[in-house]
Structure 1
Amino acid sequence: MLDVQNDLVHPDGKIGAQGLAKIVAERNVLANLQSLIAGVRRKGGTVVYVGLGYRDDYSDVLSVAPRIARARENKVATLGSWGAAFHDSIAPEAGDIVYHKQCVNPFFGTPLLEWLRSKRLNTLYLAGTATNLAVESAARYADDAGFAVSVVEDCCASPNPAWHDFAITQILPVFARITKSQDID
């Protein structure tokens, strides 16, 4: 579960209000995620949440990309804020794993890889926002690290639907199997 946080997917979120929340709603992403998460928990799987989480002054961010300047200016996803919290409809529960990152790649600067290896997990199902950023980055890294990767297409969205479509049809099939939430057994 990648970056499904209030600032990104909620209509009142700092990025969500700019259109991403509308796309998430149109694609039914949150309801699909609820179903997916319930199924994973029912089968005894572990749900892992990785989200953005910045210090108030953004001193923990290495990137100098324009998106970071905009995030810093708007105080997007600062740790402890409502915006950094995962959306209530898919919020973590006891037993779930939660990590925060300061970049696109959920493996960089987090203990995610070490945790996955310690559990001897080899199959990952990726979902979240944005398809062309966090999901794609995770798929590339996980593939390089030897994981069998699936991207749950109907549980993903991007601020621009064309970016989502391009990632799903042109980029992600190189690194992952593309699936739907109802197809996960």
Structure 2
Amino acid sequence: MSPLAENAALVVIDMQNGINRPNLGRRNNPDAEDNIEALLAAWRATRRPIVHVRHISRSPESIFWPGQSGAEFQPRFAPLAHEHVVEKNVPDAFAASGLERWLRVRGIAQLVIAGVITNNSVEATARSAGNLGFEATVASDAAFTFDLRDSSGRLWPAEDVHALSLANLAMDYATVRTTDEIVGGVRAG
């Protein structure tokens, strides 16, 4: 990972109330929220740009349907007035959201991505970032996912789903680093 530029953006994905619903199942990485807070603190202290991504579902049955508490940001991850908010309707934060243009207009080439769900919105966004030519880093311990049943009925533990998603990203799309490694780069940058 090259040193972080003064304008490297932190992209925090879907840290909304609905992600804490018990019906989503067992998750991994119980420290993810603390690590996301550490990233936010480092970005705010160095006045780097922060993008908060909020999923707004098109399905009335969704935990992210607009107008209900599940769609709102968790209080500890609420954007400050000057921080950018992007709303998306699909897992990829770049799809039809204006995010790419917002970054390009500001000359932002480096992104650090954190949030949920590792194998869904985090992976989709990191793949697009890499495909669009951004230098993307995913904070491995500032993301989490849930147990997942595959099409043959096998139940995969969240830890395995998370690890495989990060391995997929590390092949071609993003660098994968811990929060401590990233925050160290912020201080050194």
What's the TM-score bracket when you normalise by the shorter of the two chains?
0.7 to 0.9
Could you tell me which of 170, 173, 183 is aligned with 2:181?
183
State the structure with bigger RCO (CA 8 A, min sep 6), 1 or 2: 2
Give ranges in structure 2 of 5+ residues lacking alignment.
Answer: 1-11, 148-157
Could you tell me which of 82, 93, 96 is aligned with 1:95?
82
Q: Indicate the residue corresponding to 1:27 in structure 2.
A: 30
Q: Indicate the residue corresponding to 2:170 in structure 1.
A: 173
1:46/1:95 contact within 8 Å kept: no
1:53/1:84 contact within 8 Å kept: yes
Matched letter for residue 122 of structure 2? V
SS state at 1:4 partner = coil
Once residues 45 and 126 of structure 2 are traced to their aligned partners in structure 1, the CA distance between those partners, rounded to angstroms, is 25
Superposition TM-score, scaled by structure 2 size: 0.79
- The alpha-carbon deviation at position 19 of structure 1 amounts to 4.4
SS state at 2:27 partner = helix
- The alpha-carbon deviation at position 146 of structure 1 amounts to 0.7
1:75 and 1:23, CA in 2 relative to 1: closer, same or farther beyond 3 A? closer
Structure with more strand by fraction:
2
Give ranges in structure 1 of 5+ residues lacking alignment.
Answer: 11-15, 59-71
Matched letter for residue 7 of structure 1? G
Once residues 30 and 172 of structure 1 are traced to their aligned partners in structure 2, the CA distance between those partners, rounded to angstroms, is 21
Q: Indicate the residue corresponding to 1:6 in structure 2.
A: 17
1:173 and 1:75, CA in 2 relative to 1: closer, same or farther beyond 3 A? closer
**Structure 1 runs of 4+ off > 4 angstroms?**
none
Once residues 75 and 157 of structure 1 are traced to their aligned partners in structure 2, the CA distance between those partners, rounded to angstroms, is 19
Matched letter for residue 27 of structure 2? I
Once residues 36 and 133 of structure 1 are traced to their aligned partners in structure 2, the CA distance between those partners, rounded to angstroms, is 21
Q: Indicate the residue corresponding to 2:6 in structure 1.
A: none
SS state at 1:50 partner = strand
Matched, 1:41 2:44: yes
Once residues 19 and 77 of structure 1 are traced to their aligned partners in structure 2, the CA distance between those partners, rounded to angstroms, is 13
1:176 and 1:75, CA in 2 relative to 1: closer, same or farther beyond 3 A? closer
Could you tell me which of 98, 102, 119 is aligned with 1:111?
98
In the TM superposition, what whole-angstrom CA distance separates every residue of 1:89-127 from its partner, at most 9, and x where no partner exists? 121112111111110110011010000000000000011
1:27/1:154 contact within 8 Å kept: no
Could you tell me which of 33, 56, 69 is aligned with 1:82?
69
Percent identical among aligned pairs is 26
1:146 and 1:88, CA in 2 relative to 1: closer, same or farther beyond 3 A? same
- The alpha-carbon deviation at position 182 of structure 1 amounts to 1.4
Matched, 1:143 2:140: no
SS state at 1:23 partner = coil
Superposition TM-score, scaled by structure 1 size: 0.81
Could you tell me which of 50, 54, 61 is aligned with 1:51?
54
Query: How many residues are paired up?
Result: 160
